[in-house]
């Protein structure tokens, strides 16, 4: 790799961390299909045969565990965004990786819904540190015209994590039991922590960054620091912050829904003629997230490409987000089709569009704010998305039990267009904040 392109190695490192982050959070989505896991959480003997009433009770309890994770994720954004802006990305992300890896290992030892809830709460706090750190790192290492593409590459790690989870966890759970699945994935986090600690520094301090590349990275002349203390209340005075809040509050719950409930959808949807279990559920998930990985990279690239062609920041970002929003609309057919392959394709397109949306929304922070405030602004956005996810998670279980998946997919199909309308009303033109 040429010496003036070292910054892309940083993206690969962040991609790797994000991959492990998503492996750890998604193990539970597949473990919930395991009868042994269900019985242990419900406190019944392994020889007991679960009834439909038992399964409905499990899903409602599972919904509350998911709510706890997302509430912790929201709280984590409050704490970790602040911590990263003060300690720096190297120390802040190291703390986060260590915490979520420890929580992942601890999950292997839970024996009830109560202890599972506690482990997932700790996991949520730790995992909240990934994106504020990563977006701040990209702001430090990339000029504006490359940030959406770099963020898209980073975001692709979310799908690779899910693909690995779908490919390995069902097999590992069937062969070695659900506890080994959590233990193995938790240990992987400690491995990636070592790589992060040994390799990350700011570009101006990194011995492998050439003068030429450093000059390229710093070409925007974006303020590094701002006068006075950066607080949430200060940031909430800006319409740009509220645009980010809307973009995350409305869209993130849909992504959380995909991550948490798609295994159950393929396993128990009343519309599908073919139901999937742990032995055959991996393939559609690999299809979904391979396609969505392409969407993350493509829509991140598209926004950056349009800017390189001379489009304004405002026009490039919003046009890309509109295309993403339109790609999600057909997903409501997924809850009505009987064909598992059609459902898979519709969900794959929607998931690809979400990641493209996310890559562009996240860049609002690095596009419009001084670098010293990026992690905290990203934390505000992440907090908003997690709160929205927690609110939706609290009602998904009952909705699923009483009305099925159609209301949830209808919600997903319209959310992004409404969110984009609000973003445009808040910031008709994307202008940097003056702090």
Task: Please check whether residue 388 lies inside any domain of the structure.
Answer: yes
C-alpha closest to that of 190 among 88, 72, 92, 96: 96
Residue 3 and residue 362: Cα distance in Å, rounded?
A: 28
- The whole domain housing 383 covers 3-221+232-426
Positive/negative CA dihedral, 356, 359, 363, 364: positive
C-alpha closest to that of 197 among 128, 106, 133: 133
359 phi, psi to nearest 5 deg: -60, -40
Residue 66 and residue 70: Cα distance in Å, rounded?
A: 6
Task: Please check whether residue 434 lies inside any domain of the structure.
Answer: no
Residue environment code for 292-329, b if the CB has 16+ CB neighbours within 10 A, otherwise e = bbbbbbbbbbbbbbbbeeeeebeebbbebbebbbebbb
Residue 135 and residue 130: Cα distance in Å, rounded?
A: 9
Task: Please check whether residue 384 lies inside any domain of the structure.
Answer: yes
- What pLDDT is stored for residue 124 in this prediction? 92
C-alpha closest to that of 340 among 257, 247, 277, 407: 277
DSSP states along 321-359: HHHHHHHHGGGGGGGT-S-HHHHHHHHHHHHHHHHHHHH
Task: Please check whether residue 432 lies inside any domain of the structure.
Answer: no
Task: Please check whether residue 431 lies inside any domain of the structure.
Answer: no
Are 235 and 415 in contact, with CB atoms under 8 Å apart?
A: no
pLDDT tens, N- to C-terminus, the chain (435 residues): 444 688 888 889 999 999 999 899 889 988 888 999 999 999 999 898 889 899 888 988 988 898 899 889 888 877 776 777 677 888 888 999 999 999 999 999 998 999 999 999 999 999 988 888 888 888 888 887 787 788 778 877 877 888 888 888 889 999 999 999 999 999 999 999 998 888 888 888 888 878 888 888 787 665 555 566 667 788 888 999 999 999 999 999 998 888 788 888 888 888 888 887 777 777 888 888 788 878 777 887 888 888 888 888 889 989 999 999 999 999 989 888 999 899 999 999 999 999 889 878 877 777 888 867 777 787 788 888 888 888 888 888 888 878 888 999 999 999 999 999 999 999 998 887 776
Task: Please check whether residue 227 lies inside any domain of the structure.
Answer: no
Whole-model pTM?
A: 0.75
CA-based end-to-end distance of the chain: 38
Task: Please check whether residue 311 lies inside any domain of the structure.
Answer: yes
When divided into structural domains, the chain yields a total of 1
pLDDT digits (tens, 9 = 90+) for 44-62: 998 988 898 998 889 889 8
pLDDT digits (tens, 9 = 90+) for 21-46: 989 988 998 888 899 999 999 999 98
* CATH number where 148 lies: 1.20.1250.20
pLDDT digits (tens, 9 = 90+) for 177-192: 999 999 999 999 999 9
Task: Please check whether residue 433 lies inside any domain of the structure.
Answer: no
């Amino acid at each position: 790799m040429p010496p003036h392109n070292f910054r892309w190695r940083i993206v690969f490192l962040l991609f790797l961390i994000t991959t492990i982050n998503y492996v750890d959070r998604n193990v539970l989505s597949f473990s919930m299909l395991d009868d042994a896991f269900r019985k242990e959480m419900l406190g019944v003997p392994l020889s007991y045969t679960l009834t439909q009433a038992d399964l409905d009770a499990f899903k409602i309890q599972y919904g509350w565990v998911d709510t706890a994770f997302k509430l912790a994720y929201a709280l984590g954004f409050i704490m970790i965004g602040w911590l990263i802006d003060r300690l720096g990305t190297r120390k802040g992300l190291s703390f986060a990786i260590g915490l979520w890896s420890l929580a992942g290992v601890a999950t292997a030892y839970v024996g009830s819904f109560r202890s599972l809830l506690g482990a997932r709460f700790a996991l949520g706090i730790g995992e909240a540190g990934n994106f504020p750190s990563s977006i701040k790192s990209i702001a430090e290492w990339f000029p504006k015209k490359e940030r959406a593409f770099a963020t898209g590459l980073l975001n692709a790690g979310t799908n690779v994590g899910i693909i690995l989870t779908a490919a390995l966890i069902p097999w590992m759970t069937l062969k070695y039991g659900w506890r080994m699945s959590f233990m193995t994935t938790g240990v992987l986090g400690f491995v990636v922590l070592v790589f992060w600690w040994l390799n990350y520094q700011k570009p101006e301090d990194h011995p492998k960054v050439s003068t030429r590349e450093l000059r390229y990275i710093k070409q925007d002349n974006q303020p590094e620091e701002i006068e006075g203390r950066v607080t949430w209340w200060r940031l909430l005075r800006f319409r740009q912050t509220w645009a980010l809040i809307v973009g995350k509050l409305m869209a993130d719950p849909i992504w959380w829904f995909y991550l948490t409930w798609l295994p159950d959808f393929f396993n128990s949807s009343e519309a599908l003629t073919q139901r999937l279990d742990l032995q055959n559920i991996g393939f559609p998930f690999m299809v979904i997230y391979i396609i969505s990985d392409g969407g993350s990279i493509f829509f991140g690239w598209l926004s950056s490409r349009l800017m390189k062609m001379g489009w304004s920041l405002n026009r490039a970002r919003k046009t890309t987000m509109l295309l993403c929003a339109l790609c999600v609309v057909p997903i409501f057919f997924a809850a009505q089709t009987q064909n598992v392959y059609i459902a898979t394709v519709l969900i794959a397109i929607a998931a690809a569009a979400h990641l493209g949306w996310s890559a562009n929304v996240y860049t609002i922070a690095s596009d419009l704010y001084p670098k010293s405030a990026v992690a905290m602004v990203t934390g505000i956005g992440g907090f908003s998305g997690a709160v929205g996810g927690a609110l939706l998670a609290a009602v998904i279980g009952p909705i699923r039990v009483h009305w099925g998946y159609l209301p949830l997919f209808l919600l997903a199909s319209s959310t992004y267009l409404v969110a984009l309308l609000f973003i445009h009303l808040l910031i008709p033109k994307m202008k940097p904040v003056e702090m």
